[in-house]
Amino acid sequence: MTIDENILLKHLTTFKIGGLARYFCVAKSVADLKEATTFAKKAGVPIFVLGGGSNVLISDEGFHGLVIKMAIQGVKFEDDGNYVRAIVSAGESWDNFVSEAVKKGLWGVENLSGIPGTVGGAPVQNIGAYGVDVSETIESVEIFDTDNLGTRNLSADQCRFRYRDSLFKRPDGKDYIITKVSFRLAKEGKPNIFYKDLNKYFTLPGAPKSSIEEIRKAVLKIRSAKFPPLDKFGTAGSFFKNPIVDNGILEDLKKKFPEIPSFPTDDGLVKLPLAWILDKVCGSRGLKMEHVGLYERQPLVLVNFGEASSHEVLVLADKVAMDVRDKIGIKIEKEVRAIGEDRPPAKYRTGFWTLAYIYLPKITAVIQFFGWHHFRQNYLIGFLKSNKSPEDLMRHLNSKGYSRAHLAWKDKGEVFSVRKIVRHDFQYHIRFFNDYEIRGHYEYTAESHPIGHLCEAVFTDPKDYFDHLLYGYVEK
């Protein structure tokens, strides 16, 4: 097995976003996993297992550890009376497995047709669609324990499945890498077409009989009408989970929104369709910011329309979540996993720049004292809302990755100046003033292009971005 360095990850994800992996390898066996884990421990770096890259948003700064591309292959079907046990390796394509099961007339996963990704990722997310969760068919999961370098089986109960959740997304499952999944599929099954879209499909005049093959065809057709084609757009599918609330909250919501749909869960709660809320309550269908937006046909889906950054995606996602909270008082959770971290490029973390950050601002202050640059730079964002304090604004910006802008003019009346570095060579720069005015722009960093920065070779007004970033903090 080969361990490579500085491998670009954006082409290995369906979002088509992501920076470099510090280390990268392809694991085709448990022995490869042992070798990779041993390497990571010696190097003192974290591990991230990448399957089909269909449910992740990788940072523009990449992952500063070892990315293991899961490629363990193999599918085996074992007869077990009225059922068939399908033992599938983690690196197999999920939809290829579903297709094979349907061809064999085995019931249980047909409603999950068309979901991108690998089999190993299915239990992690407890993937679900059209009224079915994958946990309903999982018998056991084989895991590789990166702590003791051994394998063992976990029963479905031990996997602690919940709605879009499992043991593998929690701290006590962080050391486990899924290597195989055992499914219990029925030879004779009853069509599950209660989900609204499927029910509508099979009750139309001239609709086919709901055989297992026709259910798969129907699901694929419905999905293709709702989700953007991966060969044209970047997306990770549904970005948020549908919120689950108790009946008391539902009754309060119905007083304001009598038509809000709801679906009972097995534990006595109710699931609300977030797509309906985003469309009918928030009016967010088709919402767009720069290179990212909500898909017109399905507002649960965030789409990379071209050269979107992970930063843009997270800013829009935060705006959507805040809008839902403000409109209906419910906090929504992300379904897509954000991987990696945003931090200044390594080339800026040197002794030279450490000294520059100390002395250049002093030189800049002397220059300004003699009259050069005594104004406020362009691009007014707005004014801080009366119910927010400067400290609130600073905490919010810090939480979004903003930190002090060392190499910058101090504009007239400026209280503080912060920046967020993106794509290594560019930055968003925000200033707050003593009259509560907020200004900001997008430009070269002073470190990467000193002359271009000084001469404002790139100096633009990313209005949509700032409107989303500062939603709830700014008034015009």
Question: Alpha-carbon torsion 195, 198, 201, 206, what sign?
Answer: negative
At residue 131, φ and ψ (nearest 5 deg) are 85, 10
Which residues are catalytic, by number?
164, 238, 335
Q: Residues 414, 408: contact at Cβ < 8 Å?
A: no
Residues 6+ apart with CB under 8 A from 375: 411, 412
Angle between helices 212-226 and 196-203 (to 10 degrees): 120
Q: Residues 164, 241: contact at Cβ < 8 Å?
A: yes
Q: Which stretch of DSSP H or E encloses residue 226? A: helix 212-226
Q: How many CA atoms lie within 13 A of 11 on its CB side?
A: 2
Spatial separation of the C-alpha atoms in residues 394 and 304, rounded to whole Å: 29
Spatial separation of the C-alpha atoms in residues 169 and 155, rounded to whole Å: 16
Q: Which two tokens stand for residue 41?
A: 């421990």
Eight-state DSSP code of residue 258: T
Spatial separation of the C-alpha atoms in residues 76 and 84, rounded to whole Å: 10
Residues 6+ apart with CB under 8 A from 227: 235, 237, 295, 297, 298, 301
